[in-house]
Amino acid sequence: MTKMKVLFDTDPGVDDAMALLLLARHPRIALLGVTTVFGNASLDQVVFNALYLKDQYGFSAPVARGAGLPLVVAPGEPPAFVHGDNGLGDIPLPVRNVARADMIPAHQLIIKLVRAHPHEITIIAVGRMTNLAQALAEDPGIAPLVKQVVIMGGAFGYNGHCGNVTAVAEANIIGDPHAANLVLAADWPVAMVGLDVTMETVMSDQYLSDLATTGDDGTFVRKVSHGYQDFHRKTINLDGFPVHDSSAVAYALHPEFFETIDRPVRVIDHGDSIGQTLAKPEGHDAESCDWAGRPKIRVCRGVDSEAVLNLYRQTLTGRGV
Ligand code: BDR
Ligand code: CA
């Protein structure tokens, strides 16, 4: 079986931890690197969490420390009300981890892995895109050497889903809109798995209870996501929680689960609408418009939610394909 070589850029984060588990357990994934970025918790905390997950899940890929601040905008407070004070739903964490962070910074690990495996690396980015933007700035030549970039981020209003931080902005984009703009303008194939589809796939309380009976991985998912589930019940009256970061992994493995449209995309980087992702309207073909020179991005606008939920459950129970 040819494995998909994956670099995972992440801010663990409850749903990041769940996506990393999917990557660690799926038989078709070769996880080559994990790069961390500030977001769901401080940089120190997300590095600690990624190393904890490395010990917990038993993967061998290096974990690198990445950006602690956005490129231009002021950093926001970490969303402890969503992911807990420690970013992992306030489950008890050890005082120290066995695993150690890689010697080189995240953006350089990205460059190193892409250069070592030209045209083979799939980057799955589920946090602020600051590390990717820094890698592009240091070595712009990597872009055409990347097989694909799959992003969890953005929202285009499909299925009625717009922002989750403001009315129009999703967290990973508004957290560093300038970095997102650079990533969406670069010469690499990008797929965006935004709120339009991640909000459509929900792990219900029943799904999570059933998963918890399947073994240690399912029990861990149940444990780490308690507070996260509570947050979604209290704020949007959901039975369970939406599947954000694992949907990006699902797309990388099974793009056929998703319905897509190809449009150039830009990010509003100032003013009231900061963080909004805008796809060039269909039929608007003027050369001198705001999307001029931007490549087409594959935007997900529909999803087979059952298929995504089955993939997650089957992978954790050793039946993933
Ligand atoms: C995204 O923001 C973070 O809180 C989650 O981990 C996910 O990547 C959802 O908007
Ligand atoms: Ca994330």
Give CA separation, 259 vs 5, 11, 67, 220, in Å: 24, 27, 32, 31
Predicted confidence band at 282 (pLDDT cuts at 50, 70, 90)? confident
pLDDT band at 43 (very low <50, low <70, confident <90, very high): very high
Q: Can you tell me which residue has the tokens 């995309």?
A: 265
Confidence of residue 1 (pLDDT cuts 50, 70, 90): confident
Residue 283: what pLDDT? 78
Q: What is the pLDDT of residues 58-115, one digit of tens each?
A: 999 999 999 999 999 999 999 999 999 999 999 999 999 999 999 999 999 999 999 9
Q: How far is the CA of 130 from the centre of ligand 1 (A)?
A: 14
Q: Which ligand is nearest to the CA of 275?
A: 1
User: Annotated catalytic residue: which of 107, 161, 232, 244?
Assistant: 244
**What digits encode the pLDDT tens for the residues 299-318?**
999 999 999 999 999 999 98
Ligand 1 atom with the shortest distance to the CA of 16: 6
Atom of ligand 1 nearest to the CA of 152: 8
Taking residues 195-224, report their average pLDDT. Answer: 98
Give yes or no for residue 288 having a pLDDT over 80.
no
- Ligand 1 mutation target, pool 152, 203, 236, 276, most atoms within 8 A of CB: 152
Model pLDDT for residues 215-250, shown as the tens digit of each residue: 999 999 999 999 999 999 999 999 999 999 999 999
Percent of the chain with pLDDT over 90: 94
Residue from 258, 72, 250, 265 nearest 183 by CA: 265
DSSP 83: H
Fold of the 4-316 domain: Inosine-uridine Nucleoside N-ribohydrolase; Chain A (3.90.245)
Atom of ligand 1 nearest to the CA of 79: 4
Of the candidates 183, 154, 184, 190, the residue with the CA atom closest to the CA atom of residue 169: 154
Instruction: State the Cα–Cα distance between residues 232 and 126, nearest whole angstrom.
Output: 19
Please choose from 36, 245, 251 the residue to mutate so as to test ligand 1's pocket, defined by most ligand atoms within 8 A of CB. Answer: 245
Ligand 1 residue neighbourhood (C-beta within 6 Å): 13, 15-16, 40, 126-127, 152, 164, 170-172, 244-245
- For residue 83, which atom of ligand 1 is closest to its CA? 4
- Residue-wise pLDDT for 134-193, tens only, equals 999 999 999 999 999 999 999 999 999 999 999 999 999 999 999 999 999 999 999 999
Q: Would residue 11 show up in a list of annotated catalytic residues for this protein?
A: yes
Answer whether 88's CB lies under 8 Å from 17's CB. Answer: yes
pLDDT at 284: 76
Report the alpha-carbon distance of residue 239 to residue 83 in Å, rounded: 17
What percent of the chain stands above pLDDT 70?
98
* Ligand closest to CA 171: 1
Give the start-to-end residue ranges of the domains of the chain.
4-316
Q: What residues pack around ion ligand 2 (CB closer than 5 A)?
A: 11, 13, 16, 126-127, 245
